[in-house]
Chains A and B, each alone.
Chain A
Amino acid sequence: MEASNLFLIAALLVAVACGNSQPPTQDRSTKVRQRIADSFLLSFALRFASSFLQSLTASYSSDTVHRLAILGMLWHVLTCDYSYANGCVKTGLINGSRPIFGGGTFSLNAALFSTTLLVSRIYDNQTVFLFISLSVVVFAFYSTTRHEMAKTHPAHSSVAPWLITVFIIMATLCLILDDLSLATTFLLCSLILGGVCPFWKHSLQHFQVLIKGPWDVAQIVPLV
């Protein structure tokens, strides 16, 4: 558990370091005040929410909770907007945009649904609060952080995104090392998704039919 925590903290430090490498858009003291106020508000809200979220699904049977949580996380993985996480900006809007969750609304809802289910199996209020806070940081804030990082530290020219990915994988492995089959499966899936699939996709590109013509929908260039 301690090793897992260390890896997570390392990943967080890398993300924060990448975030702070951008030129500051506002005064440092104002920024610090804003961040502290935001974190206090969020902590207060989550601390308040954790007490009733813990009892929300307490009456469900454990295997129902586990199955639903797994399904929720699978749905989160499937519906996550990976193009946003890799720095792509949504096009099609010229003037302004309504605030949307870039990482995918379904994805976030599914992750928080799984979180709500799992906290019913934790008996200590403090642990529930920490678990929910971690979930909010990982699923709500991380996608935007990753998006910003992909723009300032792209994977092809920076080691930071790779470091974060490795730290997160190591943190997960530390938690599941007791179950050798699960750990092996997880490691294999990570290697296939992170290593084999990109090369496979690259090799399939020359089969792609690219016929451009006047039938293509015109792309609007957003106004600056």
Chain B
Amino acid sequence: MPRIAMVCDFFYPRIGGVENHIYSLSLNLIRLGHKVIIITHAYGNRKGVRYLPGPLKVYYCPILPMTDQDAMPTFIATFPLLRHIFIRERIDIVHAHQATSTMANESIVYAAALRIASVYTDHSLFGFDDLASTILNRVLQTTLSTVDAAIGVSHVCHDNLILRARLDPNRVFVIPNAVDPSKFSPDPSQRRRDRLVYRKGIDLLVGIIPKVCSELKHVHFLVGGDGPKLLDLQEMVERDRLQDRVEFLGSVPHANVRNVLVRGDIFLNCSLTESFCIAILEAACCGLLVVSTNVGGVPEVLPDDMIMLSDPTVESMVTCVREAVQADRTDAVAHIQHQRIRDVYTWERVAEETILVYKKVLCQHRRGFLERMSCYQSLNGITGFVVCCLALIVEIWVRIVEWWQPIHQIDRVPDLSTRVQSNGVQHLN
């Protein structure tokens, strides 16, 4: 069974879609018999090795986060530590996540230098014409020139990744995200008629709420979340005197999201861009009818009877909300919807499809130094030349580190034996 190292700057205690994806995928890979570890940087006092239920080993490396919990790009400074971890855990595959993660990008380069198979999963969409995207795409093109396989969480993400990083389409796969259905079960008894729950796209929402409230007198809004745009919403509520129609819940911990969702009938998603949008999946799993903007990978997530798509304009969204409110859905529909999502969007499926990708990359030939140089040179122009020089520096550094910390002096960590309880949870003996 291949041994996998998930590498990303973004992991617990930070909460988010990428973090949940890494954790859920790792747990299910462990349940299927694989050895999985997670490598991330330290969060505050959380440094060293921690164990999460699974048991899932997490290395909180003493690497300095620079901005927004993203590590400072050091180019070669983290190599000795990561190499040490890869060797002591006998890692066969490095699975990196997220384009904006410095550790993920660096780990792919290190894996290629150490002749370890590498896989990359992209979770976000990026454009092509603004400066930040141009720079990020160039970095991604550089690091992914030696990756063995890439995964997108939706077909839009797949196409976007191929165009941004100029990858061979035969090496890019689509494995959609999933949801834990046991945590998002419907409860129609909690509903008070016609409550909408929203997420993101505040500028649209500021226009939608007053129009919907004036047209549909029995509709109430539940607003969960926090951020700088909350002030715009609160000002709108004050201005239009909608205090009895709009309820602000503030920041909702992820553990309480289900309890908020089940209070609603319709989930309103006004996002202006989404690669997959797991929020609408969670809402649909709780039995809500979803009204969403038709952006990014959203149309791929749910079938037509579970979601109503609209253009990202106020008028279209209001029309869609009106139709959703008038839709006649019984409580039984919520349970049927939950069951359908439970059957399709499971983390077991994601893990099995990811294992197929792992098997494919393990069969591939590992690139030597000259092959990697030719990959970097294919970037063309000044970039190709500069990256080749950097690759040479990395190679020299690899030799120095191998002399400084010989492989035979690194202890291999024995695998801890575990016992599996009747509910499928593994425990250490």
Contact = CB atoms under 8 A, between A and B. Distances in A.
Nearest to B124: A215
Given A93-B203, A209-B129, A211-B128, A223 B273 contact: no
B98 to A, nearest CB: 16
Interface stretch (B52-60, B155-163, B252-260, B276-284): B155-163
A218 B207 contact: no
A95 B207 contact: yes
Contacts of B128: 209-211
B213 to A, nearest CB: 14
A213 B206 contact: no
A23 interface: no
A220 B204 contact: yes
A20 interface: no
Contacts of B156: 213-215
Interface size class of A (residues with CB under 8 A): 10 to 19
A204 interface: no
A94 B207 contact: yes
Contact of B206 (A95, A209, A210, A215): A95
B203 A218 contact: no
Contact of B314 (A93, A94, A219): A94
A70 to B, nearest CB: 27
A214 B295 contact: yes
Given A94-B203, A95-B207, A209-B128, A218 B159 contact: no
Interface in A201-224: 208-211, 213-221, 223
B203 A215 contact: no
A99 interface: no
Interface string B196-237: 000000011011000000000000000000000000000010
Counting chain A CB atoms within 10 Å of each CB, the highest count among B236, B272, B293 belongs to: B272
Contact of A213 (B159, B207, B313): B159
Contacts of A221: 313
Residue of B128, B275, B312 ringed by the most chain A CB atoms within 10 A: B128
A210 B312 CA distance: 22
A96 to B, nearest CB: 8
B296 interface: yes
B314 A217 contact: no
Contacts of A24: none
A73 B197 CA distance: 49
Contacts of B206: 94-95
A95 B203 CA distance: 8
Q: Which of A93, A95, A209, A210 has most chain B Cβ within 10 Å?
A: A95
A215 B128 CA distance: 10
A216 B293 contact: no
Nearest to A214: B156
Given A209-B128, A210-B129, A220-B312, A215 B207 contact: no
Contacts of A94: 203-204, 206-207, 314
Interface of B: 125-129, 156-157, 159-160, 163, 203-204, 206-207, 236, 272-273, 275, 293, 295-297, 312-314
7 contacts: A92-B203, A94-B204, A215-B273, A216-B273, A217-B272, A220-B203, A223-B314
Given A95-B206, A220-B204, 11 more contacts: A93-B203, A94-B206, A210-B128, A211-B128, A213-B159, A214-B295, A215-B126, A215-B159, A218-B273, A218-B295, A220-B203
**4 interchain residue pairs of minimum CB distance:** A218-B312, A215-B125, A218-B272, A215-B160
